[in-house]
Structure 1
Amino acid sequence: MITVKEAQKKIISNKIFLNNETIKLNNSLGRVTCDNIKSKLNHPSNNLSSMDGYALRYNDAILIKTAPVTIVGESSAGNPFRRSIKKQECIRISTGAVIPEGLNCILLKEKVTKNDGKIISTNQNIKKGDYIRKKGLNFKKNDLLIKKNNIITSRDIGIIASANHSNIKVYKKPVISVISTGNELRNPGKKISDYEIVSSNSLILEAIIISLGGKFINLGIAKDNKNSLKQKILKSKGSDILLTSGGISIGDHDLVQSTLLELGMKIIFWKIAMRPGKPLMFGKLNNMLVLCFPGNPVSTFVGSIIFLLPLINNLLNINTKLPITEAILAKDLKKNDEREEYMRAKLSYAKNNEIIADPYIKQDSSMSYYLAKSEGLIIRKPYDKALTAGKKVPIIPFSRISNTL
């Protein structure tokens, strides 16, 4: 058996490279940029007024009591004033409207007194440049807006659109095929006999893959025989990653490893000193990475967080580190054995905003009920000593990976 850390290093070091594609900006949420994105223009493209009022020259504004200024037109958003403006003239201006060249002062609408088409006085503390958004204030042409290898957020989409991009280049989503194995498995919604169980792992993996930015392909359920397994595995051709669940231990019906070996897979590691998920296997079949999970839903989920997440992120050239933080332990824990353990736990917050982690007493890997109720995993190192309530422990909060995890 190898350690979790050793397994993660081997996964990260076995990298395949994804091609890129150009997509519509409105379809880019959550995708990863493969190039730097620069602005195509100045933003704003002209000097703009930030308030409703009157645009004029500063030198005319400070003398307005003795030399009234004539209102000669208007500039509104999308409809600029296009004639030249002489001394002692001004224009009405709306918020967001272009300020004509040569004007450098805005008098607020509510701060002036008018008479017979002229501004005759103001009680405004006049300053040159006030209420003017300078050309390029937000960003200038060719400014770097979004760096390469960045996950696109809604805020990014806004700034990219403002820079006049309608398409962007991103890495293609890694194509991830999933095979569930077992004679006893049936799809949800079917009539289930006493000796059959509902297959849930493929749905768990589908949700995780989509939330992590992958493209999910369901290859269905393989029976516990090599012919069925081979047919399913061969259908994964062209995928970047193949995931299997079940059939990876040492029982007579655990045929996933031997079948993959017959098809030419190279094993990179098998069995990890962890709980749950000990018999996990990782390998490479031609140019496709293969990650095989145990059949229990909790083992599949935990293995996905610890290994599939960094695997996908590595292909997308984004952060591969898990979001590990500290929490206060809510109850005593016995000493740990030689395996690193990931315990399902409820999370809450103390008055000082410290996280409190309350592990479930029952940690059997078949008990998906407690997984569904959990909000994070407590990490216990191999041979960790007994811990009392109030001690700090490392945890992985699910919400720091994805709100839908």
Structure 2
Amino acid sequence: NVTSDGDTITLTTNTPFSKGRHVRHKADDFANGDLMIPAGKRLGARDLGQAVIAGHGALTVGSRAKIAILSTGDELVEPGAETLPHQIPASNDVMVSAILANMSADCRSINRIADNMDALCAALESAQDCDIIVTIGGASVGDHDLVAPALEKLGANIDFWKVAIKPGKPLMAGKLGSSIILALPGNPGSAFVTATLFLLPLVRFLTGATDYLPPLKSAAATSALPATADRALFLRATITGNAISVFDSQDSAKQSVLAAANALLMRPAHAGPLPEGAQVPYIPI
């Protein structure tokens, strides 16, 4: 768009122009004293680029949580192994470890602990160097549910046991020494829901996040929803566009339903019925 004549160049275009149009001015992007990254935000690639361009060679961040995952049950066998009629593959610890894979956490699995008091106590004691000890299974009140008796034997302080949600009622939380105990139910649907509602927020909080609760969105229900009783429901569902559909079966033992879901539809306790098309809250999963 220019012609040259010796040391002189002349603009030949008729496009209007203004002085400084192609100059990047000081503080045009950000200025000294501007807040670039708020405390408690999880750092991503763009945040790191912002920090460097703002002159920082290092940042103060939260510590990674150290987590032990203990799966219990005489019926459990190693993933991929042949199963007898009374056995099932140990899938829950794999699932919970995968849930935590993108978190600021270092996990170790202590799997397939027999329904034996001495074995369970030994496993719990071996995990006391961790910030969080997650047990899966054995948290109810059956003859082979030994998590509560084992924690009592070791002198743990139980903060609460059983919550008014479905699935996931037998959830237990407390402390064993300096370690936080979170005992999840053994059915996969219950283990996943309680990990989503309790374990993930706990890890986010311990690692310094300020926004640690599960994100809530809303969508239109594709079917009428009945009234609820005395427990909040977290129904496995699928999101398609702006609509949410609940699976007919909500059996917490069905891994296939959980695997096909991409949302947990929330229904509060003691709520009235809702018609088709009603806006309902859900947690993306």
Match of 1:334 in 2: 226
Q: Please, which runs of 5 or more residues in structure 2 have no aligned partner?
A: none
Match of 1:119 in 2: 9
Match of 1:348 in 2: 240
Alignment of 1:147-158 (within 5 A): 147-158=38-49
TM-score by length of 2: 0.93
Alignment of 1:3-402 (within 5 A): 110=1, 112-120=2-10, 122-123=12-13, 125-141=16-32, 143-315=34-206, 316-349=208-241, 355-398=242-285
Aligned residue for 1:228, secondary structure, equals helix
In 2, the alpha carbon distance for the partners of 1:119 and 1:278 equals 79
How big is the shift at 1:392? 2.2
In 2, the alpha carbon distance for the partners of 1:391 and 1:136 equals 48
1:175–1:239 CA contact under 8 A, matched in 2: yes
Q: Which amino acid aligns with 2:78?
A: N
Question: Percent identity over the alignment?
Answer: 34
Q: Please, which runs of 5 or more residues in structure 1 have no aligned partner?
A: 1-109, 350-354, 399-405
After superposition, the C-alpha distances for 1:132-154 in whole angstroms (9 at most, x for unaligned) are 11234333456442222221122
How big is the shift at 1:186? 0.9
More relative contact order, 1 or 2 (CA 8 Å, 6+ apart):
1
| CA RMSD, Structure 1 to Structure 2 (Å) | 1.8
In 1, the alpha carbon distance for the partners of 2:146 and 2:11 equals 91
Aligned residues: 283
In 1, the alpha carbon distance for the partners of 2:176 and 2:77 equals 28
TM-score by length of 1: 0.66
How big is the shift at 1:164? 4.0
How big is the shift at 1:325? 2.4
Aligned residue for 1:211, secondary structure, equals coil
- Cα 1:388–1:137 change in 2 (3 A) is closer
In 1, the alpha carbon distance for the partners of 2:181 and 2:219 equals 34
Q: Which amino acid aligns with 1:295?
A: G
Bigger mean CA offset, 155-164 vs 268-277: 155-164
2:128–2:177 CA contact under 8 A, matched in 1: no
After superposition, the C-alpha distances for 1:335-394 in whole angstroms (9 at most, x for unaligned) are 322111111011112xxxxx2111001100000111111110111122323333222222
1:219–1:235 CA contact under 8 A, matched in 2: no
In 1, the alpha carbon distance for the partners of 2:18 and 2:278 equals 59
Q: Which amino acid aligns with 1:290?
A: I
Q: Which amino acid aligns with 2:274?
A: L
After superposition, the C-alpha distances for 1:78-110 in whole angstroms (9 at most, x for unaligned) are xxxxxxxxxxxxxxxxxxxxxxxxxxxxxxxx2
In 2, the alpha carbon distance for the partners of 1:367 and 1:377 equals 15
2:171–2:183 CA contact under 8 A, matched in 1: yes
How big is the shift at 1:231? 1.3
How big is the shift at 1:189? 1.4
Match of 1:58 in 2: none
How big is the shift at 1:122? 4.7
